[in-house]
């Protein structure tokens, strides 16, 4: 009985730790090596005239589809493209779109049924920018609208929105939380 408990205990603890450590390491490695944003030349060319080509992962596929199918009235502009180009962009965006609610916190608190088309109105976005005043963005002649991410987020084109790379034009200081 004395030896038995050590066999049982060691087997249990050993296998649990192996399970835990291996999984954590495997998923940590995946997370670290995840590419920031796989670029698409077509998407970048066609869709960055007025604003940066937003990372595909910021909206779910159904949102991109909706936007692409209504390009003739794209936020009060006509942004229509020919069929082939539109299809190319749609394929790219769908492939890299936000996968599903849980493992992407951008969609947290968003009513599940609807199809958002404004990244800047996602609850996650609003929460992250709740300390940014109108004066800094809308009334700032160098920016004008929250849709101009790359005006403040210096590495936005790489898909990197890290806090360390923010500089708000018109402010000399770097953004410090």
Partner 1 sequence: MNFKSLDRCIEMTTKNNNYPNNKIKVWDILLRIFHWSLVLFVLILFLTEDDYLWIHSYAGYTVLLLIGFRLVWGFIGTTYARFSNFIATPKEALTYLKEELSGDAKRYIGHNPAGAVMIVILIITLLLTGFTGMATIATEGKGPLATTFIASFSGDLLGEIHEFFTTIVLLLVILHIMGVIFSSFAEEENLVKAMFTGKKENRKIYSNNKRSQDIKK
30 binds partner 1 (CB under 8 A): yes
On whether the CB atoms of residues 53 and 96 are closer than 8 A, the answer is no
Q: CB 101 → partner 1: shortest distance, Å?
A: 6
9 binds partner 1 (CB under 8 A): yes
- Gap between the Cα atoms of 86 and 43, Å rounded: 9
103 binds partner 1 (CB under 8 A): yes
In this structure, what is the dihedral angle of CA atoms 142, 144, 146, 147, given to the nearest 10 degrees? -90
Determine which residue in the list 57, 101, 123, 159 makes contact with partner 1, applying CB under 8 A: 101
- List C-alpha distances in Å: 36 to 32, 45, 136: 10, 19, 27
27 binds partner 1 (CB under 8 A): yes
- List C-alpha distances in Å: 61 to 6, 97, 122: 53, 5, 15
C-beta closer to partner 1: residue 5 or 135:
5
DSSP symbol at 97: S
10 binds partner 1 (CB under 8 A): yes
128 binds partner 1 (CB under 8 A): no
36 binds partner 1 (CB under 8 A): no
- Gap between the Cα atoms of 63 and 123, Å rounded: 15
Q: Could you tell me which stretch among 43-51, 88-96, 99-107, 153-161 binds partner 1 (CB under 8 A)? A: 99-107
- Gap between the Cα atoms of 118 and 45, Å rounded: 20
In the complex, which residues of this chain contact partner 1 (CB under 8 A)?
A: 5-6, 8-10, 12-13, 16-17, 19-20, 23-24, 27-28, 30-31, 100-103, 105, 109
């Amino acid at each position: 009985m004395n030896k038995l408990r050590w066999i049982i205990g060691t087997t249990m603890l050993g296998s649990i730790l192996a399970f835990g450590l291996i999984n954590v390491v495997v998923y940590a490695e995946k997370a670290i090596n995840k590419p920031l944003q796989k670029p698409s030349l077509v998407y970048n060319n066609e869709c960055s005239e007025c604003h940066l080509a937003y990372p595909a992962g910021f909206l779910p596929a159904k949102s991109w589809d909706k936007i692409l199918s209504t390009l003739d009235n794209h936020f009060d502009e006509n942004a229509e493209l020919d069929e082939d180009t539109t299809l190319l962009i749609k394929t790219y965006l769908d492939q890299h779109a936000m996968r599903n609610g849980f493992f992407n916190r951008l969609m947290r608190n968003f009513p599940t049924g609807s199809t958002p088309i404004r990244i800047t109105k996602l609850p996650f976005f609003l929460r992250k920018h709740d300390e940014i005043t109108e004066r800094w963005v809308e009334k700032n002649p160098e920016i004008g609208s929250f849709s101009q991410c790359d005006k403040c987020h210096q590495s936005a084109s790489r898909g990197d929105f890290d806090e360390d790379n923010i500089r708000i034009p018109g402010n000399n200081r770097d953004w410090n939380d």
